[in-house]
Amino acid sequence: MKVARTGYLGPSIAAHLATFRQGLAELGWVEDKTIIIEIRLGKYEQFPDLAAELVRLNLDLIVAATTPGALAAKQATTAIPIVIGWVADPVASGLVASLAHPGRQHHGLDPSGV
């Protein structure tokens, strides 16, 4: 069985990462067994460099926890799918064309409604 390789890009806010890990566990993903998570946390101004670092790892997916993280990930790659969460208005920020049809690269919004 292939182990999924996911990148997580977000601010140093433990609650966001904990919610992400809890959601994965609820869906049956087991960290370091069925999924490897490359975690990159930092300040917003560090996100472009952190996103580029994740892209160099040739991951299956990038999870961007905030609008600045999602924008940095979008700028860093057009090949790796990006799941966005904790984003106030992905249409207004230019991340997606519409909520109904986000586009090929962006695949989701935060399911917890945070």
68-82: per-residue pLDDT in tens? 999 999 999 999 999
Please, are residues 38 and 16 in contact by the beta-carbon 8 Å criterion? no
pLDDT at 105: 57
With a cut of 50, say whether residue 50 has pLDDT above it. Answer: yes
pLDDT at 43: 95
Whole-model pTM: value is 0.83
pLDDT in tens, 14-43: 788 898 999 999 999 999 999 999 999 999
Supply the DSSP string of 58-89, one letter for each residue: T-SEEEE-SHHHHHHHHHH-SSS-EEE-S-S-
What values do phi and psi take at 82, rounded to 5? -125, 125
Domains, the chain, with CATH or none: 4-84 (3.40.50.2300)
